[in-house]
Amino acid sequence: MNTTDIHASRERIRDVLFLAARIVLGVVFIAHGRLKAQDVDTAVDGFEASGIPLARLSFWFTLCVEFGGGAALALGLALPLVGVLSAVVTGGAIYFVHGDKGFYVHEGGYEYVLVLAFVSLVVGATGGRLALDEALARRSALWARLTGRTGTGLPGS
């Protein structure tokens, strides 16, 4: 196997790993949204009890990011925006819900939510070639600029 073949193999593996990461992360966000949507009033009460400002509006924003953003992550659509919005939602969860409970998730801490925030940012900034953003960037210079895609599977100018 020559250097070009090795590089191509690594690229394919990277793309499949980004696809898998996007799907797993998207499913996790959708699952969390589904839990909240099962009992909206109780979830809004929980937002209020946690001191989240504009609890009802914040709840609906969170739900939209978790459902819509989760689906967009899995599809690889609008990744930079969705990555940031997902990090904002999880950052809010750290600040308002988990931050004062310590680090470890088994104590109610922010460990797990912190991982979700940073993985959201990484996936949003990269995403791989097996993403709708990549296909759209190949067809539209405007989409390429909006998403920071080059049409080659790599973020760039």
Supply φ then ψ for residue 155, to 5 degrees.
-65, 150
Residue 118 pLDDT greater than 70, yes or no: yes
Residues 6+ apart with CB under 8 A from 45: none
pLDDT score at 157: 43
User: What are the tokens at 149?
Assistant: 């895609």
Mean pLDDT of 119-133: 93
Residue 153 pLDDT greater than 70, yes or no: no
User: What are the tokens at 35?
Assistant: 């839990």
Q: Which of 86-90, 128-132, 139-143, 149-153 has the highest mean pLDDT?
A: 86-90
Q: To the nearest whole percent, how much of the chain has pLDDT over 70?
A: 96
